[in-house]
Amino acid sequence: MINRVVKNVEEAVVGITDGMTIMLGGFGLCGIPENCIAELVKMKVKNLTCISNNAGVDDFGLGLLLQTKQIKKMISSYVGENDEFERQMLSGELEVELVPQGTLATRCMAAGYGMPVIFTPAGVGTEVAIGKETRKFKYNGEEKEYLMEKAFEADFAIVKAWKGDTAGNLIYKSTARNFNPVMAMAGKITIAEVEHLVPAGELDPNHIHTPGIYVHRIFQGEKYEKRIEQRTVRKK
């Protein structure tokens, strides 16, 4: 069994250079690879294309890379919590591709499955479809128009899991099991940072969400802040 463990975050992100396309897992601020994002800031790599469900907030998550202007293009579904993102987009400093959330997930999944394109009804007849091919298919007795979307091509996928083993098998927790599994499948090189790293064989195979075959490097992260994006409490 292949041991996929690297010593630390510095070793995990070796090979990430200027101009690359990187997928980053997480949903809101939940399940984001905090250690790897912080290390990318330190590395000062620039002109990155980042694929992520959202762009973090001003001072956390991908917002840290936006502050230092290391991101050239952002491919996301939801970006409404980041003032710096808004400023850069409106000023033309940041290229933005907004993607329907289901399409974003399916384009990740298609990359993992080796499918070059998908066809989806989402976005047909909207600005999302400008410049893209559409086709009509008959499905469930109804002919509809579908939009062709290309699978993502990412140099690296960086994900965060609750627990992993030395063979790269991963278990996510709650909401973190949103974009992390499909992105783990899709990168040419997949890096996983985990809260708990255990020996191979210790995880129950029935509970594994991402098989180790998809993971190239894994390490145990440190000092997770796990910030809550919008804290809402009910009245007593």
- Would the pLDDT of 24 be above 70? yes
Q: Give percent of the chain above pLDDT 90.
A: 84
Specify whether the CB–CB gap between 54 and 79 falls below 8 A. yes
Task: Note the pLDDT of residue 144.
Answer: 95
Tell me the per-residue pLDDT of 39-75, one tens digit each, with 9 for 90 and over: 999 999 999 999 999 999 988 999 999 999 999 999 9
At 1, the pLDDT band (50, 70, 90 cuts) reads: low
Q: What is the number of other CB atoms lying within 10 angstroms of the CB of residue 210?
A: 24
Buried b (16+ CB within 10 A) or exposed e, 19-49: ebbbbbbbbbbbbbbbbbbbbbeeeebeebb
Whether 220 shows a pLDDT value over 90: the answer reads yes
Q: DSSP states of 83-150 as a string?
A: HHHHHHHHHTSSEEEE--HHHHHHHHHHHHHT-SEEEESTTTTSGGGTT--EEEEEETTEEEEEEEEE
C-alpha–C-alpha distance, residues 122 and 100, integer Å: 7
What domains appear along the chain, each with residue ranges and CATH number? 9-102+151-220 (3.40.1080.10), 117-150 (no CATH)
Q: Does 219 score more than 70 pLDDT?
A: yes
Give pLDDT, residue 213: 96
Whole-number average pLDDT of the chain: 94
